[in-house]
Amino acid sequence: MDKVVSAKRSGTKASAAVRPVPPTREEAEEAVRTLIRWAGDNPDREGLRATPARVVRAYEEWFSGYKDDPREYLKRTFEETGGYDEVVVLRDIRFESYCEHHMAPIIGRVHIGYLPHNRVVGISKLARLVEVYARRLQIQEKMTAEIAACVDEVLKPHGVAVVAEATHQCMTTRGIHKTGVSMVTSRMLGVFRDHAETRHEFLSAIGMRGAIHVANGA
């Protein structure tokens, strides 16, 4: 809190790493009432009286990822793997997020692969990792990179591969209004970046063999 106040007083921009002091629930509900009035309706009519409270409760669920440290889910690992040294893939992890530009839904799935280095993690923890990052205001590219970086940092495997496929309601329900369009993003680290054979093994496992090429080491 002191850092935020100090930044305001000095006229400098607060770092993105410094979280602002959240408003009260009453302030949040009043903000929803303001938006209802701005949209042209009456927040005091019967059908809308409880809407501000409902919206705030929904926001608590949709953006609960800010309260969790994703690294905590990966810290409990297993070393008794029977000498297993092949790629581990968890595919089709469904997620729902909201774009940070329009706060419209992003709905899709994530595929995660990693080549273990002496230890593995429970598969449910990978799904929970996706959930934490998805339940924040996001852009798909950043979420893909964050998931890969977290797995790489905590598990320290030989390599990590993450592919995300999603539809963006900010594009399908407004603006250009193009339906049936999906976006694919990927992040390859370690052996998945450096070795085409390992990368193709992962892509084949998720049904995308040959669909993603890593150019200039990116």
* Residue 3 pLDDT greater than 50, yes or no: no
Q: What is the pLDDT of residues 46-75, one digit of tens each?
A: 999 999 999 999 999 999 999 999 999 999
What value, to the nearest 5°, has the Cα angle with vertex 138 and ends 133 and 16? 90
Among this protein's residues, is 195 annotated catalytic? no
The pTM for the full model equals 0.85
**Helix 51-62 vs helix 25-39: crossing angle, to nearest 10:** 120
- Percent of the chain beyond pLDDT 70? 88
Q: For the domain bounded by 2-9+19-62, which CATH number is listed?
A: 1.10.286.10
User: Which is the catalytic residue, given 27, 30, 96, 100?
Assistant: 100
Among this protein's residues, is 101 annotated catalytic? yes
Among this protein's residues, is 100 annotated catalytic? yes
Nearest to 186 by CA among 121, 108, 119: 108
Q: In the chain, which segments carry CATH 3.30.1130.10? A: 69-205
**3-state SS assignment for residue 77:** strand
Among this protein's residues, is 168 annotated catalytic? yes
| Helices and strands per DSSP (H, E), number in the chain | 8, 7
DSSP state of 137: E
Please report where in the chains the tokens 């009456």 appear, as a residue.
42
User: Which is the catalytic residue, given 101, 141, 153, 213?
Assistant: 101
Higher-confidence residue of 42 and 212: namely: 42
Domain 69-205 - what CATH class? alpha beta
Among this protein's residues, is 102 annotated catalytic? yes
Q: What is the pLDDT of residues 83-100, one digit of tens each?
A: 888 999 999 999 999 999
Distances in Å between the alpha carbon of 5 and those of 18, 28, 61, 66?
11, 21, 28, 21
User: Which is the catalytic residue, given 102, 165, 169, 195?
Assistant: 102
User: Which is the catalytic residue, given 140, 146, 158, 201?
Assistant: 140
* Residue 148 pLDDT greater than 80, yes or no: yes
Mean pLDDT, residues 107-126 taken together = 95
* Residue 155 pLDDT greater than 50, yes or no: yes
Q: In the chain, which segments carry CATH 1.10.286.10? A: 2-9+19-62
Among this protein's residues, is 200 annotated catalytic? no
Q: Residue 79: its pLDDT value, please?
A: 86
Among this protein's residues, is 150 annotated catalytic? no
